[in-house]
Amino acid sequence: MADRHLIALDLDGTLLKDNKTISKKTKEIIQKAKELGHIVMIATGRPFRSSEMYYNELELNTPIVNFNGAFIHHPKDPSWGLFHSPLDIHVAKQIIDACRTFQFHNIIAEVMDEVYFHYHDEKLLDIFSMGNPKITTGDLSRYLTDSPTSLLIHTNEDDLQKIRQHLSDVHAEVIEQRSWAAPWHVIEIIKSGLHKAIGLKKAADYFDIPRERIVAFGDEDNDLEMLEYAGRGVAMGNGIDQVKAVANDVTLTNEEDGVGVYLAELLNIK
């Protein structure tokens, strides 16, 4: 198909409604887009274990970007390649040590599907237990022995900027850091040079889709590079201002079928 598009979907706040489901309408439009020969993929900050259910629900057969680009693979085709780019264990340990001089609630390290909690944490356990990972709790400087795919620091509003400033001063060369959306005061850290657009480029090269036919949807600061890379970056109506500023278009919110409505119009789906 000469004009097939590569459609990249962020999950939380984008494809998913606030109750973490995909609306019937958006799902039907995505199915029609696939029937027309367009390629649909997921690009998320989540690990694979907590995005696999949506991958299966949409009956995808494409690569998926997890951990904001720190892990990229094709669940249905092992020969496609598996790209895991963890944060160096020594850098992770330095960050964990530095946190002792700041106020923080918890530090969580994820090594693919293993989750390490510095402190026991009922509030965050819920978020991280999806997909049934192996969970270890205890001092990360002792228990964390592998380079983590991602490192999360849960702190309070006042200390978030202080810790981010320290990370920029000391580790800017080796890490990428972002803050989660309110109400969570979480700093997410992955290896430098990684973001969702890296996975998007690998997929576009594989399917031989030029940039002008890549459509990417997102709402948060971990979507910025992906929206800039795509020929058509689409911000959700509920997205942050920064995302709307880099986007080519703004669609309706995640509660109003923003993804489905936009695709139906773009691809002429009745």
CATH number for the domain that contains residue 225: 3.40.50.1000
Residues 26 and 99 in one domain: no
Q: What stretch of H or E contains 203? A: helix 196-207
DSSP string, 84-153: E-PPPHHHHHHHHHHHTTS--SEEEEEETTEEEESS--HHHHHHH-TT--EEEES-HHHH--S--SEEEE
Tell me the C-alpha distance between 49 and 52, whole Å. Answer: 6
Average pLDDT score over residue span 244-263 = 98
Residue 149 lies in a domain: yes
- Domain end residue (candidates: 191, 216, 238): 191
Closest CA relative to residue 8, chosen from 202, 265, 242: 202
* Per-residue pLDDT band at 131 (split at 50, 70, 90): confident
- Domain end residue (candidates: 131, 156, 191): 191
To the nearest whole number, what is the mean pLDDT of the chain? 95
Q: What stretch of H or E contains 233? A: strand 232-235
* Per-residue pLDDT band at 125 (split at 50, 70, 90): confident
Count of domains forming the chain:
2
How confident is the model at residue 220, as a pLDDT? Answer: 93
- Domain end residue (candidates: 145, 173, 191): 191
29-57: pLDDT as tens digits: 999 999 999 999 999 999 999 999 999 99
Please list the active-site residues.
10
Tell me the C-alpha distance between 45 and 13, whole Å. Answer: 12
Residue 76 lies in a domain: yes
* Residue environment code for 236-245, b if the CB has 16+ CB neighbours within 10 A, otherwise e: bebbbeebbe
Closest CA relative to residue 152, chosen from 115, 120, 122: 115
Residue 242 lies in a domain: yes
State the residue for tokens 């293993």: 114
Domain membership of residue 68 as a residue range = 6-84+194-266
